[in-house]
């Protein structure tokens, strides 16, 4: 199963909508806070496979741990344009990294809202999280992607991370969606 987590208002819903291919996302687009769970169906590049990503609202952080069973991938979104929330985002991230059930997950750390941020802020955000040290010391494999749900920056990188070569290889060699789903540890995958 793939989860999308991160502090409230960090941009998870807009990013997932963009990844899902929702049309007409512009400055006038708005989202409502996720007071629960959103499910997003994400298509692979060639449109042959779907994976369902489960977004859990930032306001639900105290109970995220109820959803950690059978999780193999986490997209963790922070707002790179808001350094005031980076420390809080870091505390939440650390609480995931030490969680016994999540020792073998793959994590995609998304520096979100990059349309409002700039390189120096992005660097500051990583420094504040002691990111270089963090990735050396934790058991999880962490990939960093800069993205924006508003402009679509980084969306294809994120899609490629979700449908990583391991997943696609399993699909190609078996031609079997169920086996692929197991290999991809996706919540649900179907062949079109």
Ligand X SMILES: Nc1nc2c(ncn2[C@@H]2O[C@H](COP(=O)(O)OP(=O)(O)OP(=O)(O)O)[C@@H](O)[C@H]2O)c(=O)[nH]1
CA–CA distance, 114 with 61 (Å, rounded to integer): 23
With CB under 5 A as the contact rule, the residue among 10, 34, 82, 189 that binds Mg ion is 34
**Which whole-number Å values give the CA distances from 190 to 18, 40, 166, in the listed order?**
21, 14, 16
**Contacts for 170 with CB less than 8 Å, ≥ 6 apart:** 179, 180, 182, 183, 184
- Assess 57 for contact with ligand X (CB under 6 A): yes
Among 82, 85, 148, 185, indicate the residue that binds ligand X (CB under 6 A). 148
Q: What is the DSSP letter of 115?
A: T
Cβ of residue 104: shortest distance to Mg ion, in angstroms? 26
Q: Which of residues 3-32 bind Mg ion (CB under 5 A)?
A: 12-13
The reply, when asked if residue 12 is annotated as ligand binding, is: yes
Nearer Cβ to Mg ion, position 39 or 128?
39
Nearer to ligand X, 145 or 177 (CB): 145
Is position 33 an interface residue for ligand X (rule: CB under 6 A)?
yes
Q: What sign results for the dihedral spanned by CA atoms 21, 26, 27, 32?
A: negative
* 122 is an interface residue for ligand X by CB under 6 A: no
Could you tell me the smallest distance in angstroms from the CB atom of residue 31 to ligand X?
A: 3
């Amino acid at each position: 199963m793939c989860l999308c987590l991160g502090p409230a208002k960090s941009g998870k819903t807009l990013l997932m909508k963009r990844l899902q291919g929702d049309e007409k996302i512009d400055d006038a687009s708005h989202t409502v806070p996720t007071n629960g769970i959103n499910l997003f169906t994400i298509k692979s590049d060639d449109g042959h496979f779907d994976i369902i990503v489960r977004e859990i609202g930032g306001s639900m952080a105290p109970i995220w741990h109820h959803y950690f069973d059978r999780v193999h991938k986490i997209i963790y979104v922070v707002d790179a344009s808001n350094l005031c929330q980076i420390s809080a985002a870091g505390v939440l991230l650390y609480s995931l990294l030490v969680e016994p059930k999540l020792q073998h997950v793959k994590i995609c750390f998304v520096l979100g809202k990059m349309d409002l941020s700039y390189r120096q802020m992005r660097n500051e955000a990583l420094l504040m999280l002691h990111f270089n040290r963090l990735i050396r010391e934790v058991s999880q494999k962490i990939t960093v992607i800069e993205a924006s749900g508003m402009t679509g920056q980084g969306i294809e990188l994120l899609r490629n991370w979700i449908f990583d070569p391991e997943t696609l290889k399993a699909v190609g060699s078996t031609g079997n969606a169920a086996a692929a789903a197991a290999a991809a540890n996706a919540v649900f995958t179907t062949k079109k």
